[in-house]
Homo-oligomer: A and B are copies of this chain.
Amino acid sequence: MNIWFATNNGHKKEELQAILNTSLKIPSQEGYAFNPEETGDTFCENALIKARELHKLLGNNEPVIADDSGLNVDALGGRPGVLSARYGMENGQKLTSDQQNILLLDELGDSPLRSARFVCSMVLFYSNDRFFVIQETLEGEIVKKSEMRGDGGFGYDPVFLIPQFGRTLAELSVEEKNFLSHRGKAGKIIANLLKNNG
């Protein structure tokens, strides 16, 4: 039985395969044109939109996994949140991760409130009637502008401090990150659900 992941990004597939310890298929590598419109107001809605869309495209009962994630910064009222990937986007032009990180640090400025959390909503979808949603978090703090650091990970990882480690997410190894992270925690539960409730 195939297990599908609702993304076109081969890098994301590799990452989730490592977390789930299972082989995944993605539509772009199997000849499917998959371009869901992520119009949801929440991570959960967007993950369900992607899962439903791929389920419909496949037209069978093979399990589909989908996820949506982002960064909620308390001092910004939860922004960039569900718009994390599009943060700072103007005229349809996306910023690079570096540009987004600088923008975020500038917007936060010297605010003493630095708390933030990564959120990942991951869906295991069998049909419109039967599916599971696991939404997990990773709590941390946004560093000061002078303290952005680390070469690992991607996106907002270099500005996200894990206080008990004294390191940013970009300074952790892949194994450390997958153990601690919002996506790692959600994936671990999804792997169990896949195994025990398929």
Contacts and interface: CB of A to CB of B under 8 A. Distances in A.
Interface of A: 44, 48, 72, 117, 119, 127, 129-137, 189, 193, 197
Contacts of A134: 132
A185 to B, nearest CB: 8
Contacts of A137: 127, 129-130
A125 to B, nearest CB: 10
A136 B133 CA distance: 12
A48 B136 CA distance: 15
Contact of A129 (B132, B135, B197): B135
A134 B192 CA distance: 13
A44 B130 contact: no
A119, A135, A136, A197 pick with most chain B CB within 10 angstroms = A135
Contacts of A130: 119, 135-137
7 contacts: A44-B133, A117-B129, A127-B137, A130-B135, A131-B135, A132-B189, A133-B133
Contacts of A197: 189
A139 B92 CA distance: 46
A56 to B, nearest CB: 15
A114 B131 CA distance: 23
A48 to B, nearest CB: 8
A127 B44 CA distance: 13
A72 B134 CA distance: 24
A119 B197 CA distance: 16
Contacts of A127: 137
A133 B131 CA distance: 8
A135 B127 CA distance: 10
Contact of A72 (B129, B132, B193): B129
Contact of A132 (B117, B119, B135): B135
A137 B61 CA distance: 15
